[in-house]
Structure 1
Amino acid sequence: MAHKELLARHRAVMPKWLALYYDEPIEIASASGRRVTDREGTTYLDFFAGILTNAIGYDVAEISDAIRSQLDTGVLHSSTLYLIKSQVELAEKIAELSGIPDAKVFFTNSGTEANETALMLATQARRSEQVLALRNSYHGRAFATIAITGNRGWSASALSPIKVSWVHGGYRYRSPFKAMDDKDYIKACVDDLREIIETTTSGDVACMIAEPIQGVGGFTSPPDGLFRAFKDVLDEYGILFISDEVQTGWGRTGEHFWGIQAHDVVPDAMTFAKGLGNGLAIGGVVARGDLMDAINANSISTFGGNPVSTAGALATVNYLLDHDLQANAAKLGSRLLGGLRSLAEKYPVIGDVRGKGLMVGVEFVGPEGEPNPGAAGAVLAESKALGLLVGKGGLYGNVIRLAPPMTLTEDELEEALGILAQAVEKA
């Protein structure tokens, strides 16, 4: 089926707010390694990995075999009303990797659902509906997660089950504190946090939730140490801290397994999803045992932590640990950042290159430094024409997001940099 025909059918039955990339959207029909092939036979190097989800790449034998092994049992589903061995084994591994004392794990189907669960835990434990969130953040598309999303382009409703106060810090490039050095920037953001608590809340706030690197917001990140300084203030008030690791988890940032570790912080809870399943639908929360057990009503998850997704996720985690993909992300991420910063020196249309590991954002600007979504859109389209798939985001839609599978090779990296250089030159 041609893309145009499928697009017409898509628009007839799918909601108009369901975003699609490109003027002529494509269907991914097959994939292997770090390359995908569309329905019309064109192959691309994938530098967005299904929004960071295909973290190991495509057609990985160890993961596929684990899924097939579970399928061969005939048990695709049993619900959490029954014991699930792979679920328990995966929870044990994540609890250990988290570094959270006496950690317990609850599995969901997505990052949105994971963040909703974390908010429920925190508000129940603290008996407060007040939440602190960061400007320019994104945490999901459900009722409470839209409420804490600090990005107008992704906030579908002003209605909210919680009361949210917004804090500076996550998006440094356009911050009013941009010109400050790291130390003064952190101090200014901490002062803002304290003032927000004192002036916009009653003090008994449930939690702060933050992405160590903002994903949809354009792969923006504060100086290392900001969240350590935030946590010191939060502890004064007894406010819980939740790290949204949906995009930053599993070693993608290179230097640490969890993004928040760059700030020397052990959060009260972390949420996760995306790369854990390498394409399977799975997410969850790992939290201190007392916090996880704060719910005093019965609950289950019909599909969360099902036998197929947990079998695949367990194989995914084992693969990335056995092959030290965190180290690969650190090494190749450094080269990716270096190559892009060289481009930025040549082309003033690039205002900022940022990120860690294989999670890199390129912000495009106009002559006066204003957001330039047109240039980002041109790079998105031209990269595709040259055989490279990249992502786009940012508050103003002017950031190209690069997050390839963590199994990326040096040759593939150089290929991508060559294509991006051509795309930026054209933009």
Structure 2
Amino acid sequence: MTGLHERHLAVSPEWLALYYRHPLELTHGEGRHVWDADGNRYLDFFGGILTTMTAHALPEVTKAVAEQAGRIIHSSTLYLNRPMVEMAERIATLSGIPDARVFFTTSGTEANDTALLLATAYRRSNQILAMRNSYHGRSFSTVSITGNQAWSPTSLSPLQTLYVHGGVRSRGPYAELSDERFIQACVADLEDLLGHTRRPAALIAEPVQGVGGFTSPPDGLFAAFREVLDRHGVLWISDEVQTGWGRTGDHFWGWQAHAEHGPPDVLTFAKGIGNGMSVGGVVARAEVMNCLDANSISTFGGSPITMAASLANLSYLLEHDLQGNARRVGGLLIERLRGVTAASPAVREVRGRGLMIGIELVKPGTDEADPEAAAAVLEAARAGGLLLGKGGGHDTSVLRIAPPLTLTVAEAEEGAAILADALHAAG
């Protein structure tokens, strides 16, 4: 155990998770690579939990941060803030939500917490619909709507939460149905649920479940849900903390795979837009955003320095078509991973879209999740110079792959080869 690890354990909560038997201290990064305190170099396929979205030490972002830091770092929302207004204008336009208003926070948890505050105040109901296997943050309100037991440490809640089918395509009672019949069954489940409850405030859903193991429904499910929700006066909150900004390749936002009935009422974002800076936020149509009848501020949300970073990062992403790169390189990577895992009896499924890919591991010859195998592959991949994530609703048995969106074809091939060796070594 390293001295830093011992010091960490002496002052940190026991529930603060660390990867690896011998945890890493990352000291610097460049592009898609990071280095640890011992000088080892790694290809980063997790980006600080999908947060280093563009690249490590991206010159455009570091320059913007340095220049802003030389002027003023902080002012709070009590004063006009030019970078915040400029960023809000861009996000309002990109969101697709008409007459949009934007509120900035410092994290995805805080963004989802704010969305729940808005929805419950607007509908005057503390009842929330959420998806099974979902994850929405670690605040008191967001753990209470999280449908993944491993990440929800308390049953106490300010909200009444009801869970809906549909977030996991290949497990559960509807797994064997065709996509069309799967959607029909999930819609029937939603209709039945709404027939047995008081009026909920909102449905909150991740278009692709992140912590849940990069699972997703067939395209069109949330459009079909939206038709039902509108009829019952229930808002739709799209949690885009992990799916936003083009990561899924085919779309800029995850909700756009379900766009038949237009954008959500509320959209939340965070993680990648700051490329490592603490940025989150909520977009909602003005009627919903303005429903609160009390004053509020944000001390740190939308700070000049985080907004400067986000503006530079968003500009780089759009100017270099990183959504297109996620589609092209991500498509190649997922096919390569399916090829190298095809003969492995421990791999149940390789799934995902763009640069958001999950590999679900099971005990060979069964459908039983195998978290020990996932941990072993994580270790073996590290030894080979590759950093991965893990998650899943079945005891963290899914390897999560989400590199920076500037990933090259050569790096995708390199990562797939290392992962193939890791699966062999761990198996």
State the TM-score, normalizing by the size of structure 2. 0.98
The answer to whether 1:355 aligns with 2:352 is yes
Give CA-to-partner distance per residue, 1:186-237, whole Å, 9 cap, x none: 00111111111112x21x2100000000000000001000000010100010
Give CA-to-partner distance per residue, 1:148-205, whole Å, 9 cap, x none: 0001111111110111000010012212110001000000111111111112x21x21
2:10 maps to which residue? Answer: 12
2:68 maps to which residue? Answer: 70
1:147 maps to which residue? Answer: 144
Deviation at 1:377, TM superposition (A): 1.1
Q: Distance in 1 between matches of 2:373 and 2:171?
A: 18
Gaps of at least 5 residues in structure 1 are none
1:169–1:175 CA contact under 8 A, matched in 2? no
Q: Distance in 1 between matches of 2:314 and 2:286?
A: 22
- SS for the counterpart of 2:284 is strand
- What is the identity, as a one-letter code, of the residue corresponding to 1:64? T
The answer to whether 1:282 aligns with 2:270 is no
Give CA-to-partner distance per residue, 1:106-132, whole Å, 9 cap, x none: 000000000000000000000000100
1:213–1:259 CA contact under 8 A, matched in 2? yes
2:116 maps to which residue? Answer: 119
1:370 maps to which residue? Answer: 368
- SS for the counterpart of 1:346 is coil
1:213 maps to which residue? Answer: 208
Aligned-pair identity (%): 56
1:266 maps to which residue? Answer: 263
- What is the identity, as a one-letter code, of the residue corresponding to 2:33? R
Q: Distance in 2 between matches of 1:205 and 1:143?
A: 19
Q: Distance in 2 between matches of 1:91 and 1:335?
A: 34
Deviation at 1:372, TM superposition (A): 1.1
- What is the identity, as a one-letter code, of the residue corresponding to 2:420? A
- What is the identity, as a one-letter code, of the residue corresponding to 2:89? E
Q: Distance in 1 between matches of 2:201 and 2:340?
A: 44
Runs of 4+ in 1 over 2 A off after TM superposition: none
Q: Distance in 2 between matches of 1:261 and 1:102?
A: 18
1:389 maps to which residue? Answer: 387
Q: How does 1:5-404 map to 2 (within 5 A)?
A: 5-73=3-71, 75-199=72-196, 201-202=197-198, 204-264=199-259, 265-366=262-363, 367-395=365-393, 396-404=395-403
Deviation at 1:419, TM superposition (A): 0.3
1:344–1:351 CA contact under 8 A, matched in 2? no
Q: Distance in 2 between matches of 1:44 and 1:384?
A: 8
- SS for the counterpart of 1:378 is helix
2:404 maps to which residue? Answer: 405
Gaps of at least 5 residues in structure 2 are none
When the two chains are superposed, the root-mean-square deviation of aligned CA atoms in Å is 0.8
Deviation at 1:40, TM superposition (A): 1.0
Q: Distance in 2 between matches of 1:198 and 1:14?
A: 46
State the TM-score, normalizing by the size of structure 1. 0.98
Deviation at 1:54, TM superposition (A): 0.2
